Each structure stands twice: as C-alpha cells, then as structure tokens.
Structure 1
Amino acid sequence: MTGTEEKYPLHKAAREGRLEDLRILLASGRYDANKGTFELVRPLHEACLAGHFDCAALLIHYGANVNLANIDGATALCDACCSGNVRCVQLLLEHGAQVNPPFLLTSPLHEAVFRDHWECLKLLLKYGANMNKSDCHFGTPLHIAACKGHRNSAAILLRLGASPNIPHIHQTPLHEAARSQDLEFLELLLAHGANVYSCNNRGLTARQLVPSSTSPCKVLLHEWEKIPRSLLHHCRLRIRSALGPERLKFLPTLRIPKVLINFLNFE
C-alpha cells in the first residue's frame, strides 16, 4: 500500500467496495468515519462516487456526516449524482443530505445534469432542488444540458418549470445550443419560451452565433424572429408561468381535464 492508503484505510475500502473490511475497520473504533484527506474527501464521498450503496449505508450508520463538502465544495450527494447511483442518492436524501448546498461551487443537480443521469435528476427535483440556480462554472443546470446536448435532462427541467432565459455571463441556454448547432435542442427551448431576441455581451442573438448561413438552426431561429407565435403558444406559456414550478410538479394530479394537462405538458 502507498502511504496515502495506509493513512486512509477507510477511504480505500469505501472506494473499492470492500464492505466487510470497512465494517471491521469501523467496528474497531480506531477510525473516524468523517476523517478527510488533505482535499477534504471523506470515506462517504469515496463510496458514493464509486456507487457502493452498502458501504455508504454502513458509513452513515457509523456517524458519517452526509453534508460535509470536499475542497471543491462537493458533498457526498454531488458524488452520488456523478456516479448515477439512484439508491445512493435516495439514501443520502433520506438521511438529511442538503439538496441545495449553501455554498454553490457546484450542486447535486448540476452534477446529475452534467452526466445526463436523469433518474437522479427527477429524484432531486422531488426533494426540492433549485432548477434555476447558477453554479460558478456553467450557469444553471439548463446551461449544462445545452452545452452537453443532454435533451432528456433538459426536457425534464423545462417541463417542470426551469427558466430557459436566465443568463450566465450574458449567455442563455439558447445561445449555447445555437453554438453547438443542436436543432432538436433549439426547438425544445423555443417551445418552452426561450427568448429568441436575447443578446449576449457582444450584442449577438442565438441566430448570429450559428456559423453557417444555410444551417437548419439558423433557418429555424430566423423564422422564430420573423413570424409571430400563435395565441395558443402564448397561452400555454402564460398558464405554466402562473402555475410555477411548485404546482407544475403536481400537474398530473390536478382536478382539471386530461386534455388540458396534456396541453400544458406539451403532449
């Protein structure tokens, strides 16, 4: 073993998923379940990042704090969302993990969207994750989805009321999707109310960021700039805005006609 592994045996056992070794170490009383490395990585971080549910559960049983952050501000919940392990995410949330950490270098929701782990994303939203909060790097989760082309995650966020018009360093998700020339992503954003006239810090609209004059993306954006949208389109957006994210979560359970629920859900 290296010196680091000798110094942090809990970390190594948790990272490698060696449940019985971890149990023996913790039961000995010689090791602190919350001991951090020089980067403030705890054994629980290691278990969650590797997706070892049983190891994470054992560490919590022995007093691991689910809300301790590493040097980059990531909690164990962030790491569980990185791995995409829904069971680990559920475990941490049930034991009081903060779905919206106070010091937002990153957040669990940003990490889930970055890797398109949409099942983790839905679970975080169920527990009240803030869809419109920006991190220090990419912006909102929708910015990340636009940068990475993760349409599944974007569709979930938009359906539940995430704003497509929040800027980050003067760029909206529509600008990001235009730069990557993702036609389907642009259509998704526009249908959910993205402002086609919004300009970045150089005074450029999303259309002006599309390099090719014959690109279907440029044609689409030009049409949205020149052709007024239907009253039906504006009514849907207005009703969704009035409901807000908290009510949109429960839209399928509202006592209104099914046809109206489908309309508001873009179905």
Structure 2
Amino acid sequence: MISVQRASSSNFCHIPSKDKHAPNEMEIEATRPSFFGEIGLWAVRTAVHEAAFFGHTLLLRQLIQSGAPVNIVNSDNITPLHDACIQGQIQCVRLLLDAGAQVDIRTVHGSTALCNACAAGSPECAKLLLEYGATANPTLTALTATPLHEACIRGNVDCVQLMIAGGAQLEAFDIHFGTPLHAACMKQHVDCARVLLNAGAKVNAAWFHKMALHFAAKENNVDLIEMLVAFGGNVHATDNRGKKPIDYTRPGSPSALCLEFSERTPLSLQHLCRSTLCKTLGKRMLEVTSKLGLPFGMLSYLTCS
C-alpha cells in the first residue's frame, strides 16, 4: 500500500546562489496553505525532507537548530517524518519527534508515519512513534491500510508483534486486503499469520465471502492451510462464487490432498480443545498458556509453532 514517490531533481530545495536577492535554504516558497490543518506550508521537497530520507543526521540537526519547520509538507502532504520512517532512519525520526514533529499527520493517500515505519519493516521506528503517541488504529481510507496491514503485507513479524502489543485492531477491514490475516495469507507470510492467530485473529473472518483459507489454497501453500485448519479454519465454507478452498487448488496437488483429508476427517478431541481455547482466550492465549507450565510439545501444539 505504501509507495515512495520521488520528486524530480528540479523540485528539490536548491543550494542558494550568491545573488543577494536569492532566498537562503531556510526560506521555502509556499504556494498554498495546507488543507490538513495548521501543520506547515505546502512546498516543494525541502532540504529537511532530503536529510530525513537519506539519514543525514548532522545536516538534519543543523537545519532544525536553524529554525527549519519540521512539519512542513510537500504537495502530497508528506512530512520529513514520513520520509525518515519509510527509510527506517531511526536517528532522524528521533530528532524530528524531539523537535516537535506531529506524529499522526496523514499524506494525501492517508498514510501516517507509523504506516511507513511498518511498511519499511522498522520496529525501532514504529516503537518510537508509539512512545510519542502515534495512533495504532488510524481511520482506514480507500487508499491506505492500517500499520498492522502494512506489516502483514510485507511480512515484518517484529512489526506485527509490536502493533498487536500496541493495541492494533486484529479485525480492521481494508477494502483491498480484508483483515490483516487475509493480507498475511495473500502474501504467504506464514509467521505473520501465526502471530495473528495466536493473538486471537478470527480465522474464519470473511472478505467478500472469502476466508484466509481460500487465499492459502489459491497460493498452494500447505503450511498456511494446515495452520489455518489447526486454528479452526472452515474447509467447507463457500465464497461469493460458491467455491470452497479446495476448489482453488489443482487436483492431486499437495494443497488439494491436504484439504481433501481435512474435509473427510472428523476433528479430533485435541484439535477441538485447541480451537476452543484459542477462541476463548483470544489475545490472552500466549500470555495464559505460557504460565501453565505445560510441556514444550503441548505448548507448541497449542500455538502451532
């Protein structure tokens, strides 16, 4: 969902000429006010953006000390903090936040700095943003997903764990990817899906009548299929086309054989107990089971690890 849009060199903040009438690097032309609140001015890409994006910490500190506005936005409403986060520039992120950078400014596409940090796979940046009050569940728009979605789309397990610990909604629904679990399965990130399921994500949540299991089957990912079934995935559920997960597999393929076995084999008592435990405990699953003193094998079975 996150894309880095680079302006042409003609749009960068230029080094001032020796002409006495030329603006210095701190004088940034404003063409029109921001429609996103009093957060700075619309401007071309500035020296602050460039320093933040490329991780030029010393230059960024000098610019800030010289009075450069840290919340200045370009025509896409991208701030220097957005640029620092999409590159995982933790030192620049800290400098900007300490200088008063507003943590939840959104780009024209609806992305926050936390979305960028998760898309970049930088748990360090994401953790710092949360410490400075970043919203874990920004309102979804038609053009962007939540930070948790971004982490799942790109398979950043550490960011997924961090966002869940920070209160991210497991069932947040994005029109392009569905829930975070759908996103993880579409992109075949098994570890992310496991973290979500152990945190209480609903295995049979529907996105346009499709479940995560439909996508795992379509991608022919046996590991995902087995895990989703282990957490109670309904192998008999049909989507809006009347298709079950097995209908998205090639006959005789490992995925098809796995689903055939699941369809004709009644769930065992231990399987039912695990599913019930997951549904009952939800986000508390790992916390509770870790305190029970269970043998390693039993704990691994309960968490599908």
Using structure 2 for the length normalisation, give the TM-score.
0.82
Q: Which whole-Å CA distance do the structure 2 matches of 1:80 and 1:128 have between them?
A: 16
Instruction: Using the TM superposition, give the Cα deviation of residue 257 of structure 1 relative to its aligned residue in structure 2, in angstroms.
Output: 3.9
Say which of 58, 81, 103 aligns to 2:95: 58
Q: Which whole-Å CA distance do the structure 1 matches of 2:286 and 2:254 have between them?
A: 33
Q: Which whole-Å CA distance do the structure 2 matches of 1:215 and 1:263 have between them?
A: 26
Task: State the one-letter code of the partner of 1:71.
Answer: V
Aligned to 1:258: 294
Q: Does 1:48 align with 2:55?
A: no
Say which of 228, 235, 239 aligns to 2:266: 228
Q: Does 1:187 align with 2:194?
A: no
Q: Does 1:127 align with 2:134?
A: no
SS of aligned partner of 2:105: coil
Unaligned runs of 5+ in 2: 1-7, 14-43
Q: Does 1:19 align with 2:19?
A: no
Say which of 204, 213, 216 aligns to 1:165: 204
Aligned to 1:72: 109
Aligned to 2:9: 2
Q: Which whole-Å CA distance do the structure 1 matches of 2:273 and 2:202 have between them?
A: 17
Range moving further from structure 2, 196-205 or 233-242: 233-242
Radius of gyration: which is bigger?
2
Aligned to 2:285: 248
Range moving further from structure 2, 220-229 or 186-195: 220-229
Q: Which whole-Å CA distance do the structure 1 matches of 2:127 and 2:176 have between them?
A: 26
Aligned to 2:213: 174
Range moving further from structure 2, 18-27 or 199-208: 18-27
Instruction: Using the TM superposition, give the Cα deviation of residue 251 of structure 1 relative to its aligned residue in structure 2, in angstroms.
Output: 2.1
Specify which structure has the higher proportion of helix: 1
Unaligned runs of 5+ in 1: none
Task: State the one-letter code of the partner of 1:146.
Answer: C
Pick closer, same or farther for the CA change 1:257–1:53 going to 2, 3 Å: closer
Q: Which whole-Å CA distance do the structure 2 matches of 1:61 and 1:35 have between them?
A: 15
Instruction: Using the TM superposition, give the Cα deviation of residue 131 of structure 1 relative to its aligned residue in structure 2, in angstroms.
Output: 1.6
Say which of 128, 137, 153 aligns to 2:192: 153
Residue correspondence of structure 1 range 95-114 to structure 2 within 5 A: 95-104=132-141, 105-114=144-153
Using structure 1 for the length normalisation, give the TM-score.
0.93
Instruction: Using the TM superposition, give the Cα deviation of residue 103 of structure 1 relative to its aligned residue in structure 2, in angstroms.
Output: 3.0
Say which of 207, 213, 219 aligns to 2:246: 207
Instruction: Using the TM superposition, give the Cα deviation of residue 155 of structure 1 relative to its aligned residue in structure 2, in angstroms.
Output: 1.2
The answer on whether the counterparts of 1:251 and 1:261 sit within 8 Å (CA) in structure 2 is no
- For the aligned residue pairs, the C-alpha RMSD in angstroms reads 1.7
Q: Which whole-Å CA distance do the structure 2 matches of 1:159 and 1:184 have between them?
A: 16
Q: Which whole-Å CA distance do the structure 2 matches of 1:153 and 1:238 have between them?
A: 21
Instruction: Using the TM superposition, give the Cα deviation of residue 252 of structure 1 relative to its aligned residue in structure 2, in angstroms.
Output: 4.4
Deviation digits for residues 108-154 of structure 1, max 9, x if unmatched?
11111111110111111111111221112111111111111111111
Q: Does 1:140 align with 2:183?
A: no
Count residues with an aligned counterpart: 263
Aligned to 1:39: 76
Task: State the one-letter code of the partner of 1:125.
Answer: I
Deviation digits for residues 195-230 of structure 1, max 9, x if unmatched?
1111110110001111x2111211211221122111
